[in-house]
Amino acid sequence: MFSDIKFEAVSSISYLFVCLCFCILGLLTPGKACASGANYDVRIAVGRSLSKVRLDGRDMLVLDSDVGDVLLKTSKTLYVYCGSRGLKIRGVKVHPRAILIRTASAIKVNKRSLMGNVEIRKHGKGMLVVNRMPLERYLMGLLGAEMGPKWPMEALKAQAVAARTFFMHRRLDREDAPYDVSASTLDQVYRGIALESDKTRKAVEQTRGLVLTWANMPAETLFHACCGGRTHSSEEVFGGKITYLRAVDDPDCSKCPKHRWRVDLKLSKVSKKLVSRGWKGTIGKVKQKKGLLVFLGPGGRKLEMSQVDFRKLFGAVLIPSPWFVASQNGDTISLHGRGSGHGVGMCQWGARGMAERGEDFRSILNRYYPGCKLRKLF
């Protein structure tokens, strides 16, 4: 059953190679043993393009990130604004480009409770807020947001491994970026420490240091809410082939609330949305072929759009996934779809179904990331 995924401690040359990669990229503090895992930190973008940030915490120490000077120490609510010359803070005369807030207790950024250090920096026309905290602590809250504390333990453990690996892969890709992952569905959903629980902490602790690797490097362990019965390959969705992100049958996600869904759209609403794609006037007919929607208008005008792009145009809240069959009835387009999310990698509801019928987290990972090796890095 587990022939594709092998559980092994990384050793000898391959272990040293992986550790060397992480040490070079700053995932481990120089001079520390790579096996310790104690120094893995994650930089989470918890807010972007903000004009105002509210901070609440005890004994908050505010420093200028560039020079290290202490600007303020307070336990009162603190507001940070984005100005033309830098950041504006009441009671502080200078306008730093970036500040670092340290506190030994929890800190609330807007409505999100966080642990660790928080950095706010001027970024474009707004502010970027980055929370830096230990990787394993981050995963404890992430599981609560991505799945929930009531989900089966083996599904939570599979999610912990996938999320840990996803972070490491992103960290390698974003060496020079100001953050590793965003806190939204663009990367991995993180809503803070409020969603931690004994069960999510246990799932992280029982999989501590475990990651999936391909060719001795962290795999790109994509995941989504629900595939509707079959996942999709990376080529189908993103255009690039990744060997282990292949389409697999998944009979275990039938309990997903969006296993099957229907959305009705008025042609007038679709026409307005298509204006951004160069369309003018009204739509007469809509056809579908091989993952494309073909819009026909007066005078023989035609516009083709992939179903993936059509979903992006209307948003994931309205259209849960790009996997649907379109039909037209008068001035209405009906989308009959399955699943929720992009459909690549691990189906979370499928993982839940597998766990409920007694499969363990190794078996779950084996289904969705065939060929990858499960390794303990720390």
In a domain, 71, yes or no: yes
Residue 106 near residue 57, CB atoms below 8 Å: yes
> Looking at the structure, do residues 232 and 324 belong to the same domain, yes or no?
no
Residue 52 belongs to some domain of the structure: yes
Q: Which of 98, 133, 168 delimits the end of a domain?
A: 133
How many domains, in total, are found in the chain? 3
Same domain, 141 and 14: yes
Residue type, 150: K
- Cα separation, 277 vs 5, in Å, equals 44
Q: 238 and 145 share a domain?
A: yes
Q: Determine the structural domain holding residue 202 and report its residue range.
A: 7-40+135-251+344-376
Q: Is residue 2 part of a domain?
A: no
Question: What pLDDT is attached to residue 283?
Answer: 86
Considering the domain architecture, whether residues 233 and 351 belong to the same structural domain is answered as yes
Is 239 a domain residue? yes
129 and 145 both lie in a single domain? no
To the question of pTM greater than 0.75 for the whole model, the response is: yes
Pair (276, 157) in one structural domain: no
Same domain, 175 and 27: yes
What's the pLDDT score for residue 190?
A: 94
pLDDT at 2: 35
pLDDT at 19: 56
270, part of any domain: yes
Q: 133, 168, 203: which is the final residue of a domain?
A: 133
How high is the pLDDT of residue 254? 96
State which of 112, 133, 154 marks the end of a domain: 133
| Residue 42 and residue 136 in contact, taking contact as beta carbons nearer than 8 Å | no
pLDDT at 173: 82
Digitized pLDDT (tens) for each residue of the chain, 378 residues in all: 333 444 444 444 455 545 545 553 454 443 343 444 445 789 999 999 999 999 999 999 999 999 999 999 999 999 999 998 899 998 899 999 999 999 999 999 998 999 999 999 999 899 999 999 999 999 999 999 999 999 999 999 999 999 999 999 998 888 788 999 999 988 999 999 999 999 999 999 999 999 999 999 999 999 999 999 999 999 989 889 999 999 999 999 999 999 999 999 999 999 988 887 778 878 889 999 988 999 998 888 888 999 999 999 999 999 999 999 999 999 999 999 999 999 999 999 999 999 999 999 999 999 999 999 999 988
Q: 119 and 146 in one domain?
A: no
| Phi, psi of 266, deg, nearest 5 | -75, 140
Check whether residue 22 and residue 59 sit in a common domain: no
The CATH number that applies at residue 291 is: 3.90.930
Judgement on whether residues 60 and 185 belong to the same structural domain of the protein: no
Same domain as 175, residue 62: no
Tokens of 224: 């989504």
- Are residues 369 and 286 both part of a single domain? no
Residue type, 16: L
Tell me whether residue 221 is in a domain: yes
